[in-house]
């Protein structure tokens, strides 16, 4: 490990990987050499907002990080003096604006806040269309992107915008609290729509178009595993960790999950992943830079690329349908004739930011269990259609038998749910691999921390740990009838959902 890393005789060094997500923070304590997951500390935080608004106080994230680290240390039963490095992976795209005292000027505008849809449309037109944006940033502006959120803030809260002295992403904010250094990484920076993924630098022309001074932005580290500073005495006091331990640049949550799975230069490339969380995401690590506006051509934490497509409505939306029906999430059965598009918060892929849920095909014989099953089917078809967009953007044909037979890695909170697994297998016709480790974002962050503390490629570190290994569920015959029924409704309804 790094020469400043403390240790005790007989006690192996430990790294901490933090997963600061939309609704909670997790801190994974991992044995740096073996990758053994010693404990996971947890702490919740809240999201507020109505009518498309989704906001959180960043100070909640810091408090939750402190609580999660304390919880993890207590559960692991190891002395804090054995901790040798820390890194944060955070929810992507969120806009954090800081004042002269270093504190937030307002609640953070989160990734799933859709109020910036008009600004995203205006920015897209201002540069000449989505292809022009994707050629430079890898992505076209949508309501989720940080650039659109900054434009919204300037338009709706100009006094606040005029007082901003620093603009950060969620993981940047927490990394700065740990190290005192304003820094980000290429992966999370690529989700802003002001970072050029080809030049690997901020795009000055786009910043001017957005109305954002580059001096407000953090420095971009070479990778998410780069050591960007040391734990400050103040942060060490709050966390009860040794001052001076290495702090890694960290990255976005999806990039960290890829590291945890061993996806990147030092591991597997072009291996599709389906993540079933609050949102549904699909991504694959590749050396090829994607510039198709149908997806997000992100950079990865390790210098490769991570093309990704994201849907807003996944496990949270389906759980809400279950609650409305008075059912448990595992009570679902196939939907029969019913089709339910659970777009309860608008939708991102397809780009329907003002959409609401849609139910068709209801009959006297339709049961509540079938309605819940239809919600699963609507969410899974939406995610798998996004996967087809991703494959095409990578130059692959989703209908090619060799491509269609490739296993999907299923991760996220829904990956261990029986109904989610069955719905993905039934509607994709593919085999599914479910990694044995569930905290892949936190484990990926831990690998970044280990890289900062001891050197080495973080993907190679995670691959050596075996954190992405799992059990394969065989393919089943594809349910083409349900697929065609759901996609037909979606294609016919999309124009009316754009209101």
Catalytically annotated residues? 253
| Phi, psi torsion values for 12, nearest 5 degrees | -70, 155
| 3-state SS, residue 293 | coil
**Is 92 among the annotated ligand-binding positions?**
yes
Nearest to 448 by CA among 255, 307, 306: 255
Contact yes or no for 169/94 (Cβ under 8 A): yes
Q: Residue 272 CA to chain centroid, in angstroms?
A: 15
Contact yes or no for 169/184 (Cβ under 8 A): yes
Tokens at residue 83, please?
A: 């901790």
Contact yes or no for 120/148 (Cβ under 8 A): yes
Q: CA separation (Å) from 111 to 76, 142, 349, 372? A: 32, 10, 14, 26
Residue at token pair 């049961």: 367
Nearest to 452 by CA among 16, 12, 10, 39: 16
Neighbours of 336 (CB within 10 A): 18
| C-alpha atoms less than 13 angstroms from C-alpha of 434 in its C-beta half-sphere | 16
Contact yes or no for 139/293 (Cβ under 8 A): yes
Tokens at residue 331, please?
A: 């009570």
Tokens at residue 377, please?
A: 């089917």
Give the length of the chain: 499
Rounded CA Rg of the chain: 22
| Phi, psi torsion values for 19, nearest 5 degrees | -110, 100
Q: What is the DSSP letter of 194?
A: S
Cα–Cα distance for residue pair 108/49, rounded to 1 Å:
11
**Is 265 among the annotated ligand-binding positions?**
no
Contact yes or no for 282/288 (Cβ under 8 A): no
Q: Residue 390: enclosing H or E segment and its boundaries?
A: helix 368-393
| 3-state SS, residue 150 | helix
Cα–Cα distance for residue pair 379/335, rounded to 1 Å:
12
Residues contributing to the annotated binding site for substrate: 92-93
């Amino acid at each position: 490990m790094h020469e400043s890393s403390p240790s005790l005789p007989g006690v192996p060094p430990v790294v901490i990987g933090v997963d600061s997500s939309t609704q909670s923070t997790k801190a994974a304590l991992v044995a740096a050499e073996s990758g053994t997951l010693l404990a996971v500390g947890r702490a919740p935080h809240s999201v507020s907002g109505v009518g498309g608004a989704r906001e959180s106080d960043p100070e909640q994230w810091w408090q939750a990080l402190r609580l999660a680290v304390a919880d993890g240390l207590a559960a692991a039963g190891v002395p804090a003096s054995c901790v040798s490095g820390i890194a944060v992976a955070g929810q992507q795209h969120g806009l954090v604006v800081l004042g002269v005292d270093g504190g937030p000027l307002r609640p953070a505008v989160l990734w799933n806040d859709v109020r910036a849809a008009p600004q995203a449309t205006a920015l897209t037109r201002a540069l000449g269309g989505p292809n022009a944006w994707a050629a430079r940033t890898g992505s076209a502006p949508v309501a989720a992107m940080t650039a659109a959120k900054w434009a919204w803030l300037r338009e709706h809260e100009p006094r606040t915008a005029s007082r901003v002295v620093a603009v950060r992403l969620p993981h940047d904010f927490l990394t700065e609290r740990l190290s005192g250094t304003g820094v980000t990484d290429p992966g999370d920076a690529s989700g802003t729509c002001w970072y050029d993924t080809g030049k690997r630098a901020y795009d000055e022309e786009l910043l001017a178009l957005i109305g954002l001074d580059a001096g407000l932005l953090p420095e971009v580290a070479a990778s998410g595993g780069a050591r960007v500073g040391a734990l400050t005495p103040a942060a060490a006091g709050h966390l009860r960790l040794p001052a001076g331990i290495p702090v890694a640049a960290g990255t976005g949550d999806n990039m960290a999950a890829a590291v945890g799975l061993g996806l990147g230069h030092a591991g597997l490339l072009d291996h599709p992943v389906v993540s079933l969380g609050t949102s549904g995401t699909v991504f694959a690590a590749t050396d090829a830079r994607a510039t198709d506006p149908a997806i997000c051509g992100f950079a990865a934490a390790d210098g490769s690329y991570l093309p990704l497509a994201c849907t807003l409505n996944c496990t949270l939306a389906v759980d809400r349908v279950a609650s409305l029906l008075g059912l448990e999430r595992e009570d679902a059965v196939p939907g029969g004739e019913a089709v339910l598009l659970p777009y309860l918060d608008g939708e991102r892929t397809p780009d329907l930011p003002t959409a609401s849920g849609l139910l068709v095909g209801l009959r006297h014989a339709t049961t509540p269990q079938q309605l819940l099953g239809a919600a699963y089917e609507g969410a899974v078809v939406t995610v798998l259609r996004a996967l087809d967009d991703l494959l095409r953007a990578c130059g692959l044909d989703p209908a090619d038998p060799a491509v269609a037979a490739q296993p999907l890695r299923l991760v996220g909170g829904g990956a261990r749910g029986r109904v989610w697994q069955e719905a993905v297998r039934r509607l994709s016709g593919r085999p599914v691999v479910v990694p044995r480790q569930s905290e892949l974002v936190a484990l990926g962050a831990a690998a970044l921390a280990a890289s900062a503390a001891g050197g080495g490629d973080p993907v190679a570190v995670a691959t050596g740990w075996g954190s992405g290994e799992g059990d394969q569920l065989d393919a089943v015959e594809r349910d083409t009838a349900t697929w065609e029924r759901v996609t037909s409704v979606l294609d016919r309804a999309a124009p009316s959902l754009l209101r």
